[in-house]
Amino acid sequence: MELQRREFLKLVGTAAVVSSAFGVVHVTSASQQAAAPSGERIVPVMCGGCGAACGLLFVERNGRRYLLPNSEHPQPGMCGRPASALQMWDHPLRLKKPLKKVGDKFVEVDWDTALNEIAAKLKEVVERYGPESVVITRHDPHRWFITLFQYLVGTPNLITHEGTCHSASTAARRAVLGAGGPSSVDPDYENVSYLVLVGRTLNATMGHVRRLDGGSGAGG
């Protein structure tokens, strides 16, 4: 099936907005929902905020919605990203339509207008300066389509999540240990006596959190 550029850009824009505003991916069907009291719904989901893909529970209870860590999942973490997802989703100031700056104000426009103007500007930049003038970056939730977008634009410049996260450590593992990237060589969590995390939360690490149970304690 032939995919027109305009339709592809619309798909890209819609997916980017949804995944950035609510980085949680549904992984079960209605028939797989966890048992819950009458009037309550609990659905196992996973977070798409990073490569850890932590297991969560989406809970509807008394007219409210929650996200909780799923203790039955191999990676039962919950950092600030999924914790704030529903707050962002329900926030009264959340943007629901594209905004275009007109003069000194921003006004709402429809998706066709926004995507057509963005595509026209991108085409103008490529024609004037070449495809190498365009740099594309992505994070885990967007990886499934961004390389196709890169191919359509014709740019070799792609900054991936790996490039800003673990590429340097992966190169060191290959040179020193002959191993690959995460999680081929994880920290020795089972034997840790004291764990210090700088700039990260315990549930946001790429290692399996449950392995810490075998250690004598953790701190940070």
Query: Does 189 fall in a domain?
Result: yes
pLDDT, residue 17, reads 41
Question: 105-131, pLDDT tens digit by residue?
Answer: 999 999 999 999 999 999 999 999 999
Question: 39-53, pLDDT tens digit by residue?
Answer: 788 999 988 777 677
pLDDT, residue 124, reads 96
Classify the phi-psi angles of 215: left when phi > 0, otherwise alpha if psi is within -120 to 50, otherwise beta: beta
CA distances from 105 to 94, 99, 114, 120 (A): 17, 9, 16, 22
pLDDT, residue 6, reads 55
pLDDT, residue 123, reads 94
* Total domains, the chain: 2
Q: What is the DSSP letter of 29?
A: -
Asked if the model's pLDDT at residue 29 lies above 50, the reply is no
Q: What is the DSSP letter of 133?
A: G
User: Are the beta carbons of 171 and 181 closer than 8 angstroms?
Assistant: no
Q: Which helix (H) or strand (E) holds 102?
A: strand 99-102
Last residue of a domain, one of 73, 90, 107: 90
Buried b / exposed e across 30-60, counting CB within 10 Å, b at 16+? Answer: eeeeeeeeeeeebbbbbbbbbbbbbbbbbbe
Query: Does 134 fall in a domain?
Result: no
| Confidence grade of residue 98 (pLDDT, cut at 50, 70, 90) | very high
Three-state helix/strand/coil letters over 36-59: CCCCCEEEEEEECCCCCCCEEEEE
| Maximal C-alpha separation, the chain | 62
Query: Does 59 fall in a domain?
Result: yes
Last residue of a domain, one of 70, 90, 110: 90
User: Are the beta carbons of 194 and 219 closer than 8 angstroms?
Assistant: yes
Last residue of a domain, one of 49, 68, 90: 90
| Confidence grade of residue 100 (pLDDT, cut at 50, 70, 90) | very high
User: Are the beta carbons of 65 and 45 closer than 8 angstroms?
Assistant: no
Query: Does 179 fall in a domain?
Result: yes
Query: Does 219 fall in a domain?
Result: no
Query: Does 1 fall in a domain?
Result: no
Query: Does 178 fall in a domain?
Result: yes
The SS3 call for residue 198 is coil
What tokens appear for 122 in the block?
């991108």
pLDDT, residue 90, reads 78
More confident residue, 152 or 52: 152
User: The domain containing residue 61 runs over which residues?
Assistant: 18-90
